[in-house]
Amino acid sequence: MMTITYLVAREVDPDIIDAAHGMGFSEGEILRRIEIPLGLPLMLAGIRTAAVNVVATATLGALVAGGALGRFIVDGLALREFDQLFAGAVLVALLAIVTEITFSALERASRSPGMVAIR
């Protein structure tokens, strides 16, 4: 996440930064009013990817700690109760899909139609 944020700030079009300097913006104002708004969709895309990965891999916690999102899957597999295993897998998949859709909507909402994207 920090890498994406750094890249966002570094890759803003130099002409935009130069115009902001010409308008009297300080470095902090350029960051807050130009670089972050232009890069917010990219930052949210990184957060979305990380959130979906966390949800998908949270099932592994059931193998180690015993009380995580994958408990239905592990118990269903151990007891050969495949309906429980399937239900657990569906729940995890639905949670990952809901996370993906939610962050995709946030990413789309953060885009301003009049702003130039990062090159």
Q: Are 73 and 17 in contact (CB under 8 A)?
A: no
Tell me the CATH class for 2-110.
Answer: mainly alpha
- Of 3-7, 8-12, 36-40, which one has max mean pLDDT? 36-40
Cα angle, residue 2 at apex, residues 27 and 64 outer, rounded to 5°: 160
Q: Is 58 exposed, middle or buried (0-12, 13-18, 19+ CB in 10 A)?
A: middle
User: What is the band of 110 on the pLDDT scale with cuts at 50, 70, 90?
Assistant: confident
**d(Cα 9, Cα 56) in Å, to the nearest integer?**
30
Quote the pTM value. Answer: 0.70
User: What is the band of 38 on the pLDDT scale with cuts at 50, 70, 90?
Assistant: confident
Residue 100 confidence (pLDDT) above 70: yes
**d(Cα 32, Cα 74) in Å, to the nearest integer?**
46
- For residues 74-83, average pLDDT: 88
**d(Cα 63, Cα 83) in Å, to the nearest integer?**
19
User: What is the band of 22 on the pLDDT scale with cuts at 50, 70, 90?
Assistant: very high
- Of 1-15, 33-47, 80-94, 104-118, which gets the smallest average pLDDT? 104-118
User: What is the band of 18 on the pLDDT scale with cuts at 50, 70, 90?
Assistant: very high
